Amino acid sequence: MVKRKNAANSDAMDGWNYEAKVNEIEGIITRIEAGELELEEVFDQFAKAVESLRQCESFLQQRQQQVDLLIETLNNE
């Protein structure tokens, strides 16, 4: 099996961890909901959470493409 990665995404994703990002997002949400942040920091943290969600979505889309390719390969054999 050959593992394929988009070169641009590969560099950006080195050391990146889905579970850690999800935990980070959950932590931001918890702090916002608890009222622990000043208003300006709420906006900054919200923007950070949105970017992390985009990264997670991209990661999941890439993995879905890999699964689809594997299923297609298995079906062709």
36-72 confidence digits (pLDDT tens): 999 999 999 999 999 999 999 999 999 999 999 999 9
Expressed as residue numbers, the domain containing 51 is 41-77
Tell me if 50 is assigned to some domain.
yes
The answer to whether the pTM exceeds 0.95 is no
- Distance between CA atoms of residues 26 and 21, nearest Å: 9
15-37 confidence digits (pLDDT tens): 889 999 999 999 999 999 999 99
Tell me if 59 is assigned to some domain.
yes
- Distance between CA atoms of residues 31 and 29, nearest Å: 5
Short-list 1, 23, 5, CA closest to 65: 5
Tell me if 36 is assigned to some domain.
no
Task: Count up the domains in the chain and report the number.
Answer: 1
Instruction: Please determine, for residue 2, whether its predicted confidence score (pLDDT) is greater than 50.
Output: no
